[in-house]
Amino acid sequence: MSKTTHFTRRQLLTGMAVAAGGAAGLGAWATFHDTAQRAPKAGAGISVEGRPEPRRELMTYTTTSRSGDKISMLGFGCMRYPVMPGENSPRSPKINEAAAFELVDYALAHGVNYFDTAWGYHNGASQIVTGKALKRHPREQFFLATKMPGYLNPDRAKAKEMFAIQLKNCQVEYFDYYLLHNLSRVDNYQRTYEKGGVLDYLLEERKQGRIRNLGWSFHGDKAMLEYVLRRDVDWDFAMIQVNYHDLLHKLVPSPYTKRNVPEPAPSKWMLDKVVASGLPFVIMEPLLGGRLARLNGKALNILQNERPEQTAASWAFRYVAGLPNVLTILSGMTYKEHLEDNLATFSPYVPLSQHEQGVLQKALDAFVVADNIRCTTCGYCMPCPYGVDIPTVFKHYNDCLDDDLVPKGSRNADYEKARRGFLTQLARRLPEFRSAAHCTGCGQCLSQCPQFINIPEEMEKLAKFTEQLRRQTV
C-alpha cells in the first residue's frame, strides 16, 4: 500500500489498530500534561475521517517521579515499519525508509516523543532506520529505547560489543531507556545476566550515563517475574504485555503450555505484581498483535453503535491507558492512517466511562473465538530454517476466523463462500513455499515463542485443514 492511500471510514473501523481504555488513574507517581513536550512544529497531514487532525498541544503525557521525563502516552513501536513493495514478510529488513521517515516525522510533529526499537526487529534493520530517522531531529526532542538480546546468550564481552553496535546503529551517544529483552525463565536470566556478568556491565553503563533508565521486558512464568522483582537491583521501569482481551477474558492454558510452563503468569496477576512494585511500565501488544484492531462483525457493531466515530483501536488504547503506573503505550504503526487514529485517541486521552467499560465487555464476549491461535505476530519465532512464515500463517487463520471465512463444514450454507475466501486470501498473502505445509516439526521456534504456542502442532493442523479445503472434503 502506498503512502498516499486513503481509507474510508468503514476500512478504518475494520482494519486499523484497536484502542480500548480503563477509567483507573495512573497512580501517584505519574501525572497528565496537556501541553506539548519536546516536540517540533506540527506539519500538515490527512485528517482521520469524522475527526479533526490531532493537535500536538493536546497530546497527553506522563511524568515519572524517578526520571522526571515527560513522555507521550502514545509510544512509537519500531518493529512494524512499512517494507518495500514485493517483500513477502512485514518483518523484512528491507524497510521503506522514505515511508518510515514520514511516519517518524509526523509522530514527532504531533507530540509523540518515545521510540522503541530492538536488536532483532526487522532482522536488525529497525535500529539502523530508527537511528537515521531520528538523527534528522534534535536529540532533546525524543526518548529512545532499545534492548539487550539476552535470548542470544551473550557473555559480558559480547554484550559490550553489542551495546557499542547499538549506539552506532542508532546514531546516539546514550539510550534514554534500555531493557533486558524478553525475560522468560529464571535459569536463562541467571546464566546470562548474573553469572555471565551482563547485568553488572549494563549497570556500569547506566552509571556512566550511556543508559539513563534501565529496565526489562517480560514474557515468562510466575517464577521469572517474582525472581526479577526480588533482585537487589534498582530497576527504573518494566515492559509487559497488557490488553483488554487478556485482562477481561479468562485464558485457559493449552495442554502444551501446562506441560512446558508449570506456572504461566496470568495477565491480571502479572499486572498486579508490577503495579505493587511501584515500577512505571511500558505496555506492549495493547492490540494483541493487531487482532483487537479488527474484531469480528458482531463485536465491531457493538462498539460502533455506542461511538460510531471511534475505531476499535481507540477503545483498546483507552482501556489500557487507564491502568495505574503506565509510562507509555507502544503501537507498531505501519500506515499513516494508523498513526493518525492513535494520535486522535491520545490528543487528549479520555478515560472510558463505567458504561463504556460495560460496552467493551459485551464486545469482547462477542469476539472471543475458542479456536483462535494466540499469536501476536511478534516474529520472535523467525526466521524458520525451512522458510515457513509462521506469523503470517497464524494471522491469516485468525483473520479468517474474525471474518467468518473458516468453513464450518461442507453442509453449511456458507461453506463454499468461506472455502473460496479462505483459499483466495491465503494465496494472495502467502507464497506456497512459506506455508504451513513446509513445516518439518523441527521445533526450533518453540523456545522463542513468548505466547507458548505449540507451533509445529498448529502448523500440522493448518496444513491438513488447508489441504482438505483444496480437495473440498471438509
Position 4 pLDDT exceeds 50: no
What are the tens digits of pLDDT across the range 316-367? 999 999 999 999 999 999 999 999 999 999 999 999 999 999 999 999 999 8
The answer on 160 and 306 residing in a single domain is yes
Model confidence pLDDT, tens digit, residues 53-82: 677 789 999 998 778 999 999 999 999 999
**Number of domains comprising the chain:** 2
Q: What is the mean pLDDT of the chain?
A: 85
DSSP for 84-128, please give it: -TT-S-TT-S-B-HHHHHHHHHHHHHTT--EEE--TTGGGGHHHH
Mean pLDDT of 128-145: 98
Q: Is residue 359 part of a domain?
A: yes
Please state the length of the chain. 474
Q: Is the pLDDT of residue 189 over 70?
A: yes
Say whether both 224 and 114 belong to one domain.
yes
* Predicted confidence (pLDDT) per residue in 79-119, tens digit: 999 999 988 788 899 999 999 999 999 999 999 999 999 99
- Is-above-0.75 flag for pTM? yes
Do 417 and 350 share a structural domain? no
Beta-strand relationship, 281-284 and 326-331: parallel
pLDDT in tens, 386-440: 999 998 898 888 888 878 888 877 777 788 888 899 889 898 888 898 999 999 9
Residues 337 and 429 grouped into a single domain: no
Residue 205 is predicted with a pLDDT of 98
How far apart are alpha carbons 171 and 293 in whole angstroms? 33
345 and 416 share one domain: no
Q: Do 146 and 218 belong together in one domain?
A: yes
- For residues 294 and 400, state if they share a domain: no
Q: Of 312, 334, 367, which closes a domain? A: 367
Last residue of a domain, one of 316, 333, 367: 367
CA–CA dist 397, 426 (Å, integer): 9
Nearest to 49 by CA among 351, 349, 308: 308
Predicted confidence (pLDDT) at residue 33 exceeds the cutoff of 90: no
Cα 428 to Cα 18, 88, 138, 295, 435, distances in angstroms: 24, 10, 42, 21, 12
Q: Quote the domain boundaries for residue 107.
A: 9-367
Which strand (E) or helix (H) includes residue 467? Answer: helix 455-471
On whether residue 196 sits in a domain, the answer given is yes
Same domain, residue pair 321 and 426 = no
Q: Residue 211: inside a domain, yes or no?
A: yes
pLDDT at 473: 55
Please tell me what DSSP assigns to residue 194. Answer: I
Which alpha helices (H) appear in 237-373, and where do they start and end?
Answer: 244-248, 255-260, 267-277, 291-294, 297-306, 312-321, 336-346, 354-367
Helix then strand count (H, E) for the chain reads 18, 10
Cell reading at 45: 497531514
Asked whether the beta carbons of 170 and 176 are under 8 A apart, the reply is: no
140 pLDDT above the threshold of 70:
yes
Residues 409 and 310 in one domain: no
Q: Per the domain annotation, does 378 fall within a domain?
A: no
- Shared domain for 278 and 197, answered yes or no, is yes
Q: Are residues 444 and 330 in the same domain?
A: no
Same domain, 43 and 80: yes
